[in-house]
């Protein structure tokens, strides 16, 4: 790394669950014009934010079906693999793949998913095809830093992970997370980012597990330096709070980035997080967050399209549905003192 590169700030953008319901599959087929599946029009509103970040992280909630299908939504997902190319085209660099749906299609689903992401040049963290792959941290260049992306899930919906292949998905075990974070630091990571699939679905307030685990992970230090620099939460389907815990930013839940129409309309609300990191003044010291931002999004229906709510409200101030969605996200995000800790939403 050149000396001038190591002194540059970098921006990290993270977004919520890519939850590919049947309606999302049908929309991608329609947008492809009858030839395959195209997820880019659905996600296009995120491109200005994602493509300008130094590193962008998504959450790949669902596993992929075989080329040609069949493809299915809830409860056992098999997603068209073209979503990997769509995410990469938007500018995503890495996606967490540890979720309660990681084992929906068995070992073959994990292998297919990671193979398609490799083919799209989209990195991944949270599931693996071998013990060696699991133990190798996902490293990314982020401006002047090397960033490690780690990912874990609370469960696999009761579907057992094969006893002879326990490395197929990372489970949410605090000691394991901290050991992996320290290993990533030894592998050269300046910044360690952990994606966690956790919490209680449809609950806006973080639950006891989230709060306790956030405290435990952010307290951990090695040689006077924190082990984890940022925690990104998914799974809840509703936006949750951002909070600075022991000096480290925790996003309890980003909500859904894409999802079909749900009985609870909050399932189509999501937050994009953008963190600007600045380098340490002395080599080997910690990178720190210079600026923390949250940006509100939602899915429109008929057709399914992601909407940047800040832009939508500015363009359509007479649309109460846009105003109400933006305000609901704002209320959730700021509910644990994030604004006082410096988070920017406007």
Q: What percent of the chain has pLDDT over 90?
A: 94
pLDDT at residue 62, as a whole number: 98
Residue 122 lies in a domain: yes
pLDDT at residue 144, as a whole number: 87
Whether residue 2 is predicted with pLDDT greater than 60 in this model: the reply is no
The reply to whether the predicted model has a pTM over 0.85 is yes
Q: How many domains does the chain have?
A: 1
Rounded mean pLDDT, 59-87:
97
Residue 59 lies in a domain: yes
CA distance 131 to 166: 8
The pLDDT confidence band at residue 1, using thresholds 50, 70 and 90, is very low
Rounded mean pLDDT, 320-346:
97
CATH number at residue 144: 3.60.21.10
Q: What is the pLDDT of residues 90-138, one digit of tens each?
A: 999 999 999 999 999 999 999 999 999 999 999 999 999 999 999 999 9
Rounded mean pLDDT, 7-36:
96
Residue 343 lies in a domain: no
Residue 344 lies in a domain: no
Residue 346 lies in a domain: no
Which range marks the domain in which residue 120 is found?
Answer: 3-333
Q: What is the pLDDT of residues 279-289, one digit of tens each?
A: 998 887 899 99
pLDDT at residue 260, as a whole number: 96
Q: Are 293 and 275 a contacting pair, CB within 8 Å?
A: yes
Residue 112 lies in a domain: yes
Rounded mean pLDDT, 268-276:
98
Structure tokens at 104: 């929906």
Structure tokens at 272: 């994009």
Weakest mean pLDDT among 58-62, 143-147, 195-199, 256-260: 143-147
pLDDT at residue 318, as a whole number: 94
Q: What is the mean pLDDT of the chain?
A: 96
Rounded mean pLDDT, 47-60:
98
Closest CA to 39 of 14, 62, 9: 62
Residue 194 lies in a domain: yes
Residue 340 lies in a domain: no
């Amino acid at each position: 790394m050149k000396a001038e590169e190591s002194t540059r700030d970098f921006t990290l953008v993270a977004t919520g669950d890519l939850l590919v319901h049947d309606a999302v599959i049908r929309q991608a087929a329609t947008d492809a014009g009858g030839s395959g599946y195209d997820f880019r029009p659905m996600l296009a509103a995120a491109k200005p934010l994602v493509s300008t970040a130094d590193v962008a992280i998504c959450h790949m909630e669902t596993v992929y079906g075989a080329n040609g299908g069949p493809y299915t939504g809830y409860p056992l997902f098999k997603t068209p693999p073209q979503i990997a190319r769509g995410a990469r085209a938007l500018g995503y660099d890495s996606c967490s793949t540890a979720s309660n749906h990681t084992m929906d299609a068995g070992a073959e689903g994990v292998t297919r998913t990671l193979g398609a992401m490799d083919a799209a040049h989209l990195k991944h963290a949270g599931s693996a095809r071998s013990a060696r792959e699991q133990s190798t941290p996902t490293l990314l260049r982020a401006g002047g830093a090397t960033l490690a992306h780690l990912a874990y899930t609370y469960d696999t919906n009761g579907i057992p992970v094969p006893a002879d292949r326990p490395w197929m998905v990372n489970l949410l075990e605090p000691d394991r997370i901290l050991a992996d974070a320290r290993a990533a630091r030894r592998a050269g990571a300046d910044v360690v980012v952990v994606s966690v699939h956790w919490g209680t679905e449809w609950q806006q307030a973080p639950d006891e597990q989230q709060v306790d685990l956030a405290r435990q992970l952010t307290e951990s230090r090695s040689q006077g330096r924190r082990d984890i620099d940022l925690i990104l939460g998914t799974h809840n389907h509703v936006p949750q709070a951002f909070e600075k815990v022991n000096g480290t930013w925790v996003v309890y839940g980003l909500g859904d980035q894409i999802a079909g129409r749900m009985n609870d309309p909050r399932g189509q609300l999501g937050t994009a997080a953008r963190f600007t990191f600045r380098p340490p003044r002395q080599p080997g010291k910690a990178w720190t967050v210079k600026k923390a931002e949250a940006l509100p999004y939602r899915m429109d229906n008929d057709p399914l399209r992601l909407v940047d709510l800040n832009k939508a409200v500015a363009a359509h101030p007479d649309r109460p549905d846009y105003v109400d969605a933006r305000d609901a996200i704002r209320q959730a995000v700021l509910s644990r003192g994030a604004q006082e800790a410096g988070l920017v939403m406007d």
